[in-house]
Amino acid sequence: MTGDAPDHGLAPRTHSALIWSAAGLLAIVVLVLAFLIGTKLPAPVRVPAAASPSATARIAPVPTPTVVAVGPASIGSHRWDALRGGECVDPFTSPFAENFTVVDCAAAHAAQLLRRGTFPAPVAPAATATTATPSPSPSADEYPGLAALQAQIALLCGAPDVIDLAAASAYSDIQFQASYAATAAEWNGGQRDYFCFVNRSSAQPITGSLAGASG
């Protein structure tokens, strides 16, 4: 599919605490002065000692956040859209297969899904000498066309962090294959992801993972 910076966390936290302490002290001084000069402050709101059940505030339960699964899918058979990136698969007939069998990457396998990603939003063409302003940005809902997606795939699947070049150098016939929305109907149906597979043109197996830093 760093270096350690100086820790400045204590300074802002301490500074914030001092500000709040000073504000609290100032509020007390103002209240004392107001009392001494006879200023009438608003009466405090009275809270009943025992509120009736109907008047008791109800706290809505906090919904449980949806956890998005990350990392390779488990070993076994999965639909194409259940793969998440990093899975080694065997057999491998086409990146457009409906189902894939995920296997242990330590064992010999036919291919690996290096990355699953979502196509970036379309970018408006830049202004030219014949146009005063750039053209409006294309809608993300519009199917960009097969040629446009293929051009993006070459860049997205060919990014340096997609494949481990050191591991891939053990093979002289590594090739990329990708799947994506091949028709406007698939795009309009919500298929906006791309899948970058790697296998060998000789159909010989791969042993070990070839996923790069993004996998």
pLDDT classification of 104: cutoffs 50, 70, 90: very high
pLDDT value, residue 71: 75
The residue among 48 and 106 whose pLDDT is bigger is 106
pLDDT classification of 182: cutoffs 50, 70, 90: confident
Q: Which residues contact 125 (CB under 8 A, 6 or more apart)?
A: 134, 135
pLDDT value, residue 100: 98
pLDDT at 203 over 50: yes
d(CA 188, CA 186): 5
d(CA 91, CA 65): 36
- DSSP-derived letter for residue 130 is T
Exposure string of 189-211, with b = 16+ CB inside 10 Å and e = fewer, is: eebbebbbbbbbeeeebbeebbb
pLDDT digits (tens, 9 = 90+) for 110-148: 999 999 999 987 644 444 455 555 444 455 578 999 899
pLDDT digits (tens, 9 = 90+) for 78-103: 999 999 999 999 999 999 999 999 99
pLDDT digits (tens, 9 = 90+) for 32-72: 333 333 433 333 333 334 444 444 444 444 444 333 456 79
pTM score, whole prediction: 0.62
The proportion of the chain whose per-residue pLDDT surpasses 70, expressed as a percent, equals: 58
Q: Which residues contact 211 (CB under 8 A, 6 or more apart)?
A: 1, 85, 86, 112, 114, 115, 162, 163, 164
Whether omega before 125 lies within 30 degrees of 0, making that bond cis, reads no
Roughly how many angstroms between the first and final C-alpha of the chain, as a whole number?
4
d(CA 29, CA 45): 22
Q: Which two tokens stand for residue 136?
A: 């409006």
